[in-house]
């Protein structure tokens, strides 16, 4: 059936049903309304920016990894740092959509959609860095166990192979989780759109009508996916941490790495959700849905994970001192007072000192403060990975393999491009899909209405 013509994108979403529409539908779908000129300018800028970084990457493929700062003894640099950073960012989405679902924390409803979308975009961004890092991108598939004429398989004892399985499973399951959550919302958008949007949402809604058997199966599906995602989210960054911890490099070979990385991932992920959602909330007037209560809770999570991360830092230093092992002690001394001291102190201050402001409720609900802290945490967590990876490699046991690494312009451009890539997807997402889970918010609204009715009787 040909959909009726629409004069503009706004006309496609605006038709009002015969019966008064729900406020929740109207407010949240309004975000998908006609893109304004500033929106197009921002999107255009991001597209150009990402392509510029892409051009640098093409140049790197042509010239070789020499244009990155890789030099003996450091062959893991900004690209691996950025890979770990983005995998970490992904974690808050799953924590909010899966773990908080299992805990029946209803406050998650306002932020779970955007956080889950960020998970996908962050995993996509991270995955690219593996390809960028290996240099010969066309050989990336060597990491997969595929039948080949040489009759050989991958080495399943390698953490890099574990990582491939962990990240691809994480990306797939997160995308699936996001899609399942979106099905009822696609139906809501379908019922209120015309033109190409109607066709798109009709296809994506799969004929959803909110029938009992549909909700029953949906509820069970969300529950099971949450159950599957909970150990998954804890395992993914553990596996990433084992990329380092399985080696014998001083400062890497530590059993604390898995929980330390997971806490750091949640810490940085929550910060990124705040960094992205605070402007969206302001621009699209979603103050009624994302409230002080949400900021308060998220800030508490940031404070908690900051304390875990801070404890891990202290414990690493303590164990180095307590071990009485000269190599271990020298490596840790070098981390704080060596040539990379700026990175280390940036990490320590941003991740452990600044978030302490969240002990005070006034700071937790003061949006500019929350936004500023979230930016500091993002910076601090990128530096944390830089400190772990680069300083560890630059000062191993043997003085013959000591060296200094300096990030090169190509790496910094690609790093900056990754932020553009992530932001570009998010900016497209908010105009195509409901940025807040409409059906789940409505569940809360209807419960509230029911209680009011009962009270009235």
Partner 1 sequence: MPLLLGVFETPNKVVEVVGRLRSRGYQDLDVFSPAPFPEVEDALIDKPSRVRLWTLIGGLAGVTTGFAMTIWMSYDWKIVVGGKALASIPPYVIIGFELTILFGGLLTLVGLAVHAGLPHGRFGKNDVGYSARFSAEDFGLTVRCKERDVAEVDALLRAFSAKEVSLVEP
Q: DSSP string of 346-367?
A: HHHIIIIIGGGGGGSHHHHT-H
Q: Is there binding between residue 454 and partner 1 (CB under 8 A)? A: yes
b/e sequence 174-202, b meaning 16+ C-beta within 10 Å: bbebbeebbbbbbbbbbbbbbbebbebbb
Contact with partner 1 (CB under 8 A) among 37, 38, 72, 212: 212
CB of 105 to partner 1, least distance (A): 16
Kindly state the DSSP code that residue 408 receives in the 8-state scheme: -
Tokens describing residue 37: 């000129």
Is the Cβ of residue 323 or residue 450 nearer to partner 1 in the bound state?
450
Q: Is there binding between residue 99 and partner 1 (CB under 8 A)? A: no
Q: Is there binding between residue 5 and partner 1 (CB under 8 A)? A: no
CB of 16 to partner 1, least distance (A): 9
Contact with partner 1 (CB under 8 A) among 9, 67, 137, 176: 176
CB of 8 to partner 1, least distance (A): 21
CB 95 within 8 A of CB 233: yes
CB of 158 to partner 1, least distance (A): 8
CB 174 within 8 A of CB 90: yes
Angle at 147 between CA 159 and CA 120, to 5 degrees: 50
| φ and ψ at residue 193, rounded to 5 degrees | -130, 165
CB of 57 to partner 1, least distance (A): 28
Q: Is there binding between residue 439 and partner 1 (CB under 8 A)? A: yes
Kindly state the DSSP code that residue 71 receives in the 8-state scheme: B
Of the ranges 40-48, 297-305, 306-314, 445-453, which one interacts with partner 1 (CB under 8 A)?
445-453
HSE of 443, CA atoms in CB hemisphere, 13 A: 14
The answer for residues whose C-beta is within 8 angstroms of residue 55's C-beta and 6 or more apart is none
Tokens describing residue 381: 């967590």
Contact with partner 1 (CB under 8 A) among 7, 19, 37, 248: 19
CB of 283 to partner 1, least distance (A): 25
Q: Is there binding between residue 446 and partner 1 (CB under 8 A)? A: yes
Tokens describing residue 96: 């909010």
CB of 442 to partner 1, least distance (A): 4
Q: Is there binding between residue 232 and partner 1 (CB under 8 A)? A: yes
The answer for residues whose C-beta is within 8 angstroms of residue 222's C-beta and 6 or more apart is 101, 177, 180, 181
Q: How many residues bind partner 1 (CB under 8 A)?
A: 71
CB of 399 to partner 1, least distance (A): 29
Omega prior to 296 cis, within 30 of 0: no
Is the Cβ of residue 29 or residue 78 nearer to partner 1 in the bound state?
29
Q: Is there binding between residue 324 and partner 1 (CB under 8 A)? A: no
Greatest distance between any 2 Cα atoms in the chain: 83
Q: Is there binding between residue 172 and partner 1 (CB under 8 A)? A: yes
Contact with partner 1 (CB under 8 A) among 44, 64, 145, 409: 145
Could you give the CA distance from residue 321 to residue 178 in angstroms, rounded to a whole number? 46
Q: Which of 401, 395, 393, 386 is nearest to 334 (CA)?
A: 395
Of the ranges 110-118, 125-133, 209-217, 263-271, which one interacts with partner 1 (CB under 8 A)?
209-217
| φ and ψ at residue 279, rounded to 5 degrees | -65, -40
Contact with partner 1 (CB under 8 A) among 153, 318, 359, 397: 153
Q: DSSP string of 235-255?
A: HHHHHHHHHHHTS--TTT--T
Is the Cβ of residue 182 or residue 413 nearer to partner 1 in the bound state?
182
Contact with partner 1 (CB under 8 A) among 39, 45, 107, 218: 218
Contact with partner 1 (CB under 8 A) among 203, 288, 314, 401: 203
Q: Is there binding between residue 448 and partner 1 (CB under 8 A)? A: no
Q: Is there binding between residue 22 and partner 1 (CB under 8 A)? A: yes
Question: What SS3 class is residue 74?
Answer: strand
Q: Is there binding between residue 456 and partner 1 (CB under 8 A)? A: no
CB of 210 to partner 1, least distance (A): 5
List binders of partner 1 among 336-395 (CB under 8 A). Answer: none
List binders of partner 1 among 179-198 (CB under 8 A). Answer: 180, 183-184, 187-188, 191-192
CB 53 within 8 A of CB 413: yes
Q: What's the length of the chain?
A: 457
Q: Is there binding between residue 206 and partner 1 (CB under 8 A)? A: yes
């Amino acid at each position: 059936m040909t959909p009726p013509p629409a004069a503009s994108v706004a006309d496609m979403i605006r038709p009002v049903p015969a019966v008064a529409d729900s406020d929740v539908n109207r407010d949240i779908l309004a975000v998908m309304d006609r893109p304004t000129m500033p929106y197009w300018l921002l999107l255009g800028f991001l597209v150009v920016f990402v392509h510029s970084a892409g051009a640098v990457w093409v140049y790197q493929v042509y010239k070789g990894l020499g244009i990155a700062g890789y030099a003996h003894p450091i062959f893991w640099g900004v690209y691996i740092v950025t890979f770990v950073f983005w995998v970490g960012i992904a974690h808050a989405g799953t924590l909010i959509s899966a773990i908080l679902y299992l805990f029946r924390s209803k406050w998650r409803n306002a932020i779970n959609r955007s956080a889950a979308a960020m998970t996908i975009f962050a995993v996509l961004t991270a995955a690219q860095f593996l390809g960028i890092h290996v240099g010969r991108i066309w050989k990336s598939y060597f990491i997969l166990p595929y039948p080949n004429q040489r009759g050989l398989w991958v080495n399943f004892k390698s953490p890099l192979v574990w990582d491939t399985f962990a990240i691809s499973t994480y990306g797939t399951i997160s995308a699936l989780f996001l899609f399942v959550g979106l099905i009822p919302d696609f139906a809501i958008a379908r019922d209120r759109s015309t033109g190409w949007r109607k066709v798109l949402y009709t296809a994506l809604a799969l004929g959803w009508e909110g029938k009992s058997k549909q909700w029953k199966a949906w509820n069970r599906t969300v529950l099971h996916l949450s159950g599957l995602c909970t150990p998954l989210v804890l395992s993914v960054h553990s596996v990433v941490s084992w990329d380092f911890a399985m080696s014998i490099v001083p400062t890497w070979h530590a059993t604390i790495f898995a929980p330390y990385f997971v806490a750091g991932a949640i810490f940085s992920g929550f910060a990124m959700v705040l960094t992205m959602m605070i402007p969206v909330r302001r621009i699209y007037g979603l103050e009624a849905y994302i409230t002080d209560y949400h900021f308060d809770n998220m800030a508490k999570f940031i404070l908690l994970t900051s304390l875990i991360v801070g404890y891990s830092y202290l414990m690493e230093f303590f164990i180095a001192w307590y071990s009485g092992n000269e190599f271990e002690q020298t490596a840790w001394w070098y981390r704080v007072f060596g040539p990379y001291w700026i990175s280390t102190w940036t990490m320590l201050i941003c991740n452990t000192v600044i978030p302490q402001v969240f002990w005070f409720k006034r700071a937790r609900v003061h949006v500019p403060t929350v936004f500023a802290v979230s930016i500091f945490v993002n910076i601090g967590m990128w530096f944390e990975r830089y400190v772990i990876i680069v300083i560890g490699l630059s000062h191993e046991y043997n003085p013959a393999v000591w060296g200094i690494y300096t990030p090169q312009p190509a790496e910094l451009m690609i790093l900056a491009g990754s932020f553009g890539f992530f932001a570009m997807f998010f900016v497209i997402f908010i105009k195509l899909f409901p940025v807040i889970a409409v059906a789940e918010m409505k569940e809360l609204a209807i419960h509230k209405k029911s209680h009011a009715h009962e009270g009235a009787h």
